[in-house]
Amino acid sequence: MTKEPIGTTTTDKTTGTVTGTFTFAGWDEQPVVGADGGARIAHAAVVNDYTGAVEATGTSCEYTIAYTSETVGAFVGYEFVDGKLDGRAGSFVIEQRGSFGADGTIRCSFTVLPGSGTGDLAGLTGAGSFTAREGQSTTPYSLDYAVEG
């Protein structure tokens, strides 16, 4: 994990840019409609484990995946994270949007769903990204965030 210094701390807000990694701990994908190998929609229930600035195990993520071919497509999803962010305990929801290509690379941008933070993470906002590559056991992420209070 690398962590850049926290940008600003005041009595009103803490901001920072943080990094770490996650692993896919579980992936259950089911077809919804369409033909194998062609355009189709699927649903995936995914479990992730985070280390680094985000510390959380067994997150719950739900994806809707649109395939345009066997190995190319796009996805949207929501992930519930319950753990710690930069030492603050609580939970929050991440909204994810990304794409994947024939080379096995997954690119995703995500935002913290406004109003979803609880505990020490109440008032959390933020945005980040990750790029996953086929064959990697862990995926690096980065997150720019702000927490009120």
Read off the tokens for 52: 């680094």
What's the pLDDT score for residue 64?
98
Whether 8 has a pLDDT exceeding 60, the answer reads no
Whether 49 has a pLDDT exceeding 90, the answer reads yes
Using CA atoms, how far apart are residues 10 and 94, in angstroms rounded to an integer? 25
Across the chain, how many H-helices and E-strands are there? 0, 10
Between 117 and 35, whose confidence is greater?
Answer: 117
Using CA atoms, how far apart are residues 101 and 103, in angstroms rounded to an integer? 5
User: Tell me: the pLDDT tens digits for 98-126?
Assistant: 999 999 999 999 999 999 999 999 999 99
Which residue from 8, 16, 97, 98 is spatially nearest to 53, judged by alpha carbons?
Answer: 16
Pairing of strands 8-9, 88-100: unpaired
CA quadruple 119, 125, 128, 134: dihedral positive or negative?
Answer: positive
User: Tell me: the pLDDT tens digits for 80-94?
Assistant: 999 999 999 999 999
Using CA atoms, how far apart are residues 69 and 54, in angstroms rounded to an integer? 34
Distance, CA of 28 to chain centre = 17
Mean residue pLDDT across the chain: 92
